[in-house]
């Protein structure tokens, strides 16, 4: 039987809050980079999460979908613009323009895509 982890959307409203929730619930005490690539690495196992996969229950996911929607995505993109490699600037600026128009992918969608990319992780919403 796969191990079950539960995160709760009531415990966070921002991407940084999401990262804190992941830290607390999936890998307590572990240090990690608090970024999308690092989150993907955690899901691969070896950080305290089982290498054979697990079940992730996301409580209050509807709240998270709203909280990690376009406004938070826009803030995240704008804050990250100064830290990205210069070759990614056009792509990043396009994402900013899309987020301003409430189009494109939100952080919530990106997180779901990252999770679903791991066939050994079962995602459940509550």
pLDDT digits (tens, 9 = 90+) for 40-49: 999 988 778 8
Phi, psi angle pair for 122, to nearest 5°: -100, 120
Q: Is the pTM of this model over 0.85?
A: yes
Q: Say if residue 112's pLDDT is above 90.
A: yes
Task: Round to whole Å and give the CA distance between 14 and 71.
Answer: 10
Separation in Å, CA 3 to CA 56, 78, 97? 9, 37, 40
5-40 per-position pLDDT tens digit = 999 999 999 999 999 999 999 999 988 999 999 999
Cα 51–chain centre separation: 19
84-103 per-position pLDDT tens digit = 999 999 999 999 999 999 99
Cβ atoms within 10 Å, residue 75? 14
Q: Say if residue 56's pLDDT is above 80.
A: yes
Domains with residue ranges and CATH for the chain: 1-63+119-126 (3.30.370.10)
Q: Give the H/E segment covering residue 121.
A: strand 121-125
Which residues touch 37 (CB under 8 Å, ≥6 apart)? none
């Amino acid at each position: 039987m796969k191990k079950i982890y539960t995160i709760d959307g009531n415990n966070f409203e921002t991407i940084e809050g999401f990262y804190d929730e992941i830290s607390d619930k999936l890998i307590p005490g572990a240090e990690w980079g608090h970024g999308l690539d690092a989150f993907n690495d955690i899901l691969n196992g070896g950080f305290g999460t089982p290498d054979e996969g697990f079940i992730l229950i996301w409580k209050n996911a509807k709240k998270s979908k709203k909280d990690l929607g376009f406004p938070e995505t826009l803030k995240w993109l704008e804050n990250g613009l100064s830290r990205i490699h210069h070759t990614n600037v056009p792509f990043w600026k396009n994402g900013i323009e899309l987020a301003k128009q409430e189009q494109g992918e939100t952080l919530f969608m990106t997180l779901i895509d990252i999770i679903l990319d791991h066939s050994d992780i079962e995602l459940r919403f509550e």
